[in-house]
Amino acid sequence: MYFFDMYAPLSSRPLCTDDTGRLVTYGDWYAHASTVATYIRPRALAAIICRNTAGSLLSYLSCLQNRIVPLMLDPAVAPELQEKLLRRYEPEYIFQPRNTTAAHALYTLADYGLYHTKATPCPLHPDLALLLTTSGSTGSPKLVRQSYRNLQANAASIAAYLNLQPDQYPISSLPMHYTFGLSVIHSHLYCGAAIRLTENTVFDNGFWDICRDEKITSLAGVPFTYACLDKLGFQNMDLPHLTLLLQAGGRLGEPLHKKFGTYAQEKNKRFIVMYGQTEATARMSYLPAAACLKKIGSIGIAIPGGFFRIMENETEEITVPEQPGELYYEGDNVTLGYAETRADLQKGDERHGRLFTGDIAYKDEDGYFYIVGRKKRFIKLTGKRFNLDEAEQLLKNSLTTGEVACTGKDEQLQIYTTASQELPALEAILQHTLQLLPRQYVLQVVNTIPKNSSGKIQYTRLTQPEAAL
């Protein structure tokens, strides 16, 4: 039995509340799932335009319970990029807010409607449970294929190391289509808890009114979230019921790690730093609260049921402490693999519980792990993976003359271009298509994009003074 299957003893318990004041019980979810099964055949592909509302959650959970495979989509992605993804995978059904279309819904789930797209059925592998995007903001067609076993294993592991109980009441401070936000939902449903769904952000007074008045017990955030909390004076807020603070989605700077760790210790709260990837369902490691201030900057230890190694290459392990190599992980939460076409949804398990993360790390003498760099070309912006190669190609396609190259670090994209006359066009792509704020990128005009003899861009030379005007 999985945590998303019907369990009659939970029927009368609250599942979620949302900003409309709607209260949904586990029994309500089971009833909706039963009705959805009369409209959608088992093993169909369904897209969900995700929001932090009851209808969105009911749509998702009804899919899982009926073994319908949901493709979770970010509503903030530019329409043309979302359409590109929908054309690639052609889901037979779509769940979306009812006020977004004049078409007649087959069925309604709170604020959401179920619609038939008239796409032809798509064969799906029997283990396939869920599809998540790898870099939603760039409109990448690459999806991560997650199995039912992956979801169950990671939810159980997270619930165990966080010691979650049925009386927990987290707030949806992260989006539902995002692997971290979804893992908060999964781990709490695993232990029969309820969730407060909200579309308020930490910048809204309503968010903190909910936390205070409704006795929210936990809050999850990416590094950007904690930078905002610090500026908002979170440490001075009176939130006695909020006893669990979770952080993942990229490395938190050491000053903020220390500040929130100290705050948690002084206020008898737990501050848990974690590490994960969509390719591992969600979480791979956690830093126990007791070690928070002793191991600042560490991603901690492997989650229950998981195992880390530091690898020199694909076969040779590094066992000497403090010596960096690629971080390798094993566990039941390692996902099936990627999909880039509709036909890929028929593929089975290509990873077999093993994952080379692409992150460079080392282990200290006490067995705690530290990330020191990356092998792959992606950064994290507001906690979400941002693929530099995909962004570069998108910008390149918009140019009529000149060249462009992308580098960056977490929380800032750096774009270099020789097309000085086309800066407005590049700005439009960055702000409207990629949905970036001006503070999230730097656009610089250069004389040339340095390349090697085979024509490949030499990204390390882009920052050298002779490249710039």
Higher pLDDT, 141 or 281: 281
pLDDT on residue 142: 92
* Superfamily of chain region 378-467: ANL, C-terminal domain (3.30.300.30)
pLDDT on residue 294: 98
- State the CB neighbour count (10 A cutoff) for residue 199: 14
Separation CA 271–CA 218 (nearest Å): 10
Separation CA 175–CA 98 (nearest Å): 19
- 275, 287 Cβ separation under 8 angstroms: no
SS3 25: strand
Separation CA 290–CA 324 (nearest Å): 25
With pLDDT > 90 as the criterion, what percentage of the chain qualifies?
80
Separation CA 427–CA 438 (nearest Å): 9
Separation CA 32–CA 73 (nearest Å): 21
Q: Where in the chain is the domain with CATH 3.30.300.30?
A: 378-467
Q: What is the CATH number of domain 8-374?
A: 3.40.50.12780
Higher pLDDT, 400 or 210: 210
- 99, 116 Cβ separation under 8 angstroms: no
Q: pLDDT tens digits for 168-194?
A: 999 999 999 999 999 999 999 999 999
Least confident segment among 12-16, 48-52, 374-378: 374-378
* Residue 466 pLDDT greater than 50, yes or no: no
Separation CA 231–CA 307 (nearest Å): 37
Q: pLDDT tens digits for 159-174?
A: 999 999 999 999 999 9
**pLDDT, the chain, mean:** 93
pLDDT on residue 162: 98
pLDDT on residue 329: 98
* Residue 256 pLDDT greater than 90, yes or no: yes
* Residue 284 pLDDT greater than 80, yes or no: yes
pLDDT on residue 101: 58
User: What are the φ/ψ torsions at residue 132 (nearest 5 degrees)?
Assistant: -125, 145
β-pair type (112-116, 45-49): unpaired
Separation CA 156–CA 152 (nearest Å): 6
pLDDT on residue 139: 62
pLDDT on residue 102: 55
> CA angle 227-242-270, nearest 5°?
75
Separation CA 302–CA 306 (nearest Å): 5
With pLDDT > 70 as the criterion, what percentage of the chain qualifies?
96
What pTM did the predictor assign? 0.87
Instruction: Give the C-alpha distances (Å, rounded to integers) separating 225 from 120, 152, 212, 247, 382.
Output: 41, 27, 18, 9, 8
- 101, 115 Cβ separation under 8 angstroms: yes
pLDDT on residue 385: 77
Across 56-80, average pLDDT: 95
User: What are the φ/ψ torsions at residue 372 (nearest 5 degrees)?
Assistant: -120, -10
Q: pLDDT tens digits for 239-249?
A: 999 999 999 98
Write down the residue that tokens 């939810």 correspond to. 155
Write down the residue that tokens 């039912």 correspond to. 148
* Residue 136 pLDDT greater than 60, yes or no: no
* Residue 465 pLDDT greater than 50, yes or no: no
Across 78-102, average pLDDT: 88
β-pair type (195-196, 404-409): unpaired
pLDDT on residue 469: 39
Question: In 3D, which of 260, 203, 205, 210 has the Cα closest to residue 437?
Answer: 203
Across 245-270, average pLDDT: 95
* Residue 138 pLDDT greater than 70, yes or no: no
Q: What is the DSSP secondary-structure string of 296-318?
A: TT--BEEPTT-EEEEESSSS-EE
Q: pLDDT tens digits for 387-443?
A: 888 888 889 888 888 889 999 988 899 999 999 999 999 999 999 999 999 999 999
Separation CA 174–CA 194 (nearest Å): 16
Higher pLDDT, 454 or 19: 19
pLDDT on residue 455: 65
Q: What is the DSSP letter of 457?
A: B
- State the CB neighbour count (10 A cutoff) for residue 78: 17
pLDDT on residue 399: 87
Across 45-52, average pLDDT: 97
Q: Where in the chain is the domain with CATH 3.40.50.12780?
A: 8-374
Q: Which pair of tokens denotes residue 399?
A: 């140019």
* Residue 66 pLDDT greater than 60, yes or no: yes
SS3 215: coil
Separation CA 106–CA 119 (nearest Å): 15
